[in-house]
Amino acid sequence: MEQYEILEQIGKGTFGSALVVKHKHEKKKYVLKKIRLAHQTNRTRRVEAIKKTNGVHFPKEVGRS
């Protein structure tokens, strides 16, 4: 985060906020989504874990459809 300068907050929700930031060296602006992990529910954690493994190939896997 040290390489970014926060310019403004453009959104805020239950799990975090959206910020406009500027990269200090590139001088480009980006939108950064800042998520408060402490507020995630068990269901949200499970959904995120599934998203991360979606499309992962396991070489010895049997019967995945």
Binding residues: 33
DSSP strands (E only) in the chain: 4-12, 16-23, 29-35
Determine the Cα–Cα distance for residues 31 and 57; give it in Å rounded to an integer: 31
Q: Which residues make up each annotated binding site for ATP?
A: 33
**Spatial distance between the Cα atoms of 11 and 20, rounded to a whole number of angstroms:** 10
